[in-house]
Structure 1
Amino acid sequence: MSYAYRHCVLIPSVLAPRYSTSALGCLIKPPYRPPAILSTSTEPTSGTALRDMPGIVDASVDLRHLNPQEWMSPSVTPLDELANGLDSSFRAKIETLCMQLQGKLCREMEKIDGQARFRVDKWDRKAGGGGISCVMENGAVFEKAGVNISSITGTLSQNAVKEMRVRHQELNVDNECNFFACGISSVIHPLNPFVPTTHFNFRYFEVIQSDGRKSWWYGGGSDLTPYYLFEEDARHFHEQLKAACDKHDPTYYPRFKKWCDEYFFLKHRGETRGVGGIFFDDLEGQSQQQVFEFVRSCAEAIIPAYLPIVERRKDTPYGDLEREWQLVRRGRYVEFNLIYDRGTKFGLATPEARVESILMSLPLHAQWVYCYEDSKDPRNQNLIEVLKNPREWL
């Protein structure tokens, strides 16, 4: 099958051999390969509804004890520190949650792809902490996918404290503010144009001032970016996220769905990046355990929200026309990430930034065709309509 790549822009990617040493961290072969942790259904027939698929048997994350054999790499924080902190430390809880989700998702994706494996890159940050970047490229199902974890510590600059005071008035610019930040972020770009791209991230931020006062908050979300609109896929994705939200607060889903539509909006194009999902930031509460449990529920919803859609669409036949449209739409994805995304801009402006991990979200291939005629395929209009006028899917 040949593809039209005129006006094609190749996005920088990690091109080093699978196992080597990088400048910023040690690239290691995944040390753990136990039997499959999750199981999926066989390929559904075209008439099978997503809700009827057996799907993922268990996407829950067990935080009662550590399961390092399920991880893609040793953790950033020493294992004994995580084990000792599971009962009382939210630093340990969030890093363990990230490690478990990364391991489950990466292994399940490798099983679905059947060809490519994740390159695992464990890196250290001189100022404190480090991360684990898992990247898959040129697979049979996933053209590029990244699942990154970072767990870092340090001292905030006065400018950073001033910026944070806009939303966190308790911070004092005259105090030295030490911070801990931990999160997981993923972007998955499938090869087949009928399989949507997805993104998610969940993060925890903690600040301890020199007078001993501690502030904390969580952020995160997940969204879906299709190239061809299948309403049942959008509904399924939103159903899973709503169910996770409703376990904790019935107002969460409508609030965070609206926030997602507003955040993932390309002002210069007048359209959203995709069909949305949920997005939240600076989430606090009287009970940190309750807020953490909400984030955990959202994290556990990722696999059942997305992978059944991949299974359903990955073998759909396509040709040059569909591939060209996919690459044009990916160009819009790149535009959002480089122009608007706060995380990308913040990361690139951070000292000792690990650029390869920050730009992991960009696809292997995208294109910008001058005055592209999207009307030449009526299927494109179905998608454009919902991008310009976000819908309530449930």
Structure 2
Amino acid sequence: MSQERQQRIKSSMTDPDLNARKTRASAWFKSLQEDICARFEALEDAAAPPLYKGPAGRFDLTEWSRGDGSEDLGGGRMGLMRGRVFEKVGVHFSLVHGTFSEAFAAQIPGADQSDGQFWASGISLIAHPRNPHVPAAHMNTRMLVTSDSWFGGGGDLNPLLDYQRNQAFEDSVDFHAAMKAACDSYDGADFVAMRDHCDSYFHLAHRNEPRGTGGIFYDRFNSGDWEGDFAFTQEVGRQFADIYPKLVARRMNRPWSEAEREEQLIQRGRYVEFNLLYDRGTTFGLKTGGNVTSILSSMPPVVKWP
């Protein structure tokens, strides 16, 4: 590679304006992690006998570094909790950088122009509640930089009982309304397109069925207005942090039967199948040397295949 090309790549990855944007975005993702953890711990505090026993759960926050320690490749802060409301929940922050493998770089826009160099930061969440009446949920937002930069992410709801697994279910209606409110906050965000993208992405092709009742999903989002795109991404996080704890509180005190617990565990298997077979976020984390424990913490704690 010529010195001129090396300098051009270095300049594009260290542009002062871009560096400021990286700092702002990563700070936001980290603060959102802290906010959501606090809200989930408040739900743990609100749980009471006879449905819930034992102490309220608290997040175990663990810093991790990418690579073998010989150079700075970034890292993150893994947040895991096993409580009485949340059987298992992960809320993770990451900030990583380095060079993609040649094969993986071919799949990432702009990576060929940056010789595989990248920077990425984001938050990723998956909540598996103990009560089968409380829907599981997933949310992530991120910023990725190669020779270009963009945002991606979204949130989706995953009810586990048959009577809940339709978009007319009250919790799904309210969740979709929150995601629509995030899209309505910014002219460049098309709720219908992002909702449809979510439905098509979170689909188990081998079963020809949806993973859940949807939400929104967007990727490689760059309208040319970075401030607007960032504001929209922040609003997605705020709306999720507001609506999902309300849905948990709505359902968490409803008793459940052994049959409903069995149905919950079987439906959780669909989540495992999707993440291991189709999820691009899982692939990205593993292909870029991410924290394996953090990446695979999305797996439910107990699951059954009949």
TM-score of the superposition, structure 1-length normalised? 0.66
C-alpha contact (below 8 Å) 2:128/2:137 kept by paired residues? yes
Partners in 2 of 1:153 and 1:172 — Cα distance?
A: 16
Q: How does 1:5-154 map to 2 (within 5 A)?
A: 89-114=20-45, 115-126=56-67, 127=71, 128-137=73-82, 139-154=83-98
1:185 matched to 2:124 = yes
Correspondence for 2:291 among 354, 367, 370: 354
Residues 256, 129 of structure 1: alpha-carbon distance in 2 compared, 3 angstrom cutoff? same
Q: Quote the RMSD (CA, aligned, Å).
A: 1.9
Unaligned runs of 5+ in 1: 1-84, 208-213, 370-394
Offset of 1:87 from its aligned partner? 11
Report the secondary structure of 2:303's partner residue: strand
Partner of 1:257: 195
Residues 261, 234 of structure 1: alpha-carbon distance in 2 compared, 3 angstrom cutoff? same
Offset of 1:86 from its aligned partner? 10
% identical equivalent positions: 39
- Partner deviation per Cα, 1:115-156 (whole Å, 9 max, x = no partner): 11111110112351110000001x111100000111011123
Question: What count of residue pairs does the alignment treat as equivalent?
Answer: 272
Partner of 1:322: 260
- Partner deviation per Cα, 1:7-50 (whole Å, 9 max, x = no partner): xxxxxxxxxxxxxxxxxxxxxxxxxxxxxxxxxxxxxxxxxxxx
Partners in 2 of 1:333 and 1:225 — Cα distance?
A: 9
Residues 96, 192 of structure 1: alpha-carbon distance in 2 compared, 3 angstrom cutoff? same
Report the secondary structure of 1:89's partner residue: helix
Residues 172, 303 of structure 1: alpha-carbon distance in 2 compared, 3 angstrom cutoff? closer
Partners in 1 of 2:111 and 2:64 — Cα distance?
A: 30
Partner of 1:157: 101
More helix by share: 2
Partner of 1:199: 138
Correspondence for 2:153 among 220, 224, 238: 220
Partner of 1:6: none
Offset of 1:183 from its aligned partner? 0.7
**Amino acid across the alignment from 2:20:** S
Partners in 2 of 1:363 and 1:227 — Cα distance?
A: 12
Correspondence for 2:305 among 361, 368, 383: 368
C-alpha contact (below 8 Å) 1:202/1:295 kept by paired residues? yes
**Amino acid across the alignment from 1:124:** S
Unaligned runs of 5+ in 2: 1-15, 46-55
Offset of 1:105 from its aligned partner? 0.7
Partners in 2 of 1:149 and 1:224 — Cα distance?
A: 20
Correspondence for 2:212 among 270, 274, 280: 274
**Amino acid across the alignment from 1:123:** W
1:284 matched to 2:225 = no
Report the secondary structure of 1:108's partner residue: helix
Offset of 1:250 from its aligned partner? 7.3
Offset of 1:349 from its aligned partner? 3.3
Residues 299, 251 of structure 1: alpha-carbon distance in 2 compared, 3 angstrom cutoff? closer
Offset of 1:223 from its aligned partner? 0.2
Report the secondary structure of 2:92's partner residue: strand
C-alpha contact (below 8 Å) 1:205/1:216 kept by paired residues? yes
C-alpha contact (below 8 Å) 2:57/2:84 kept by paired residues? yes
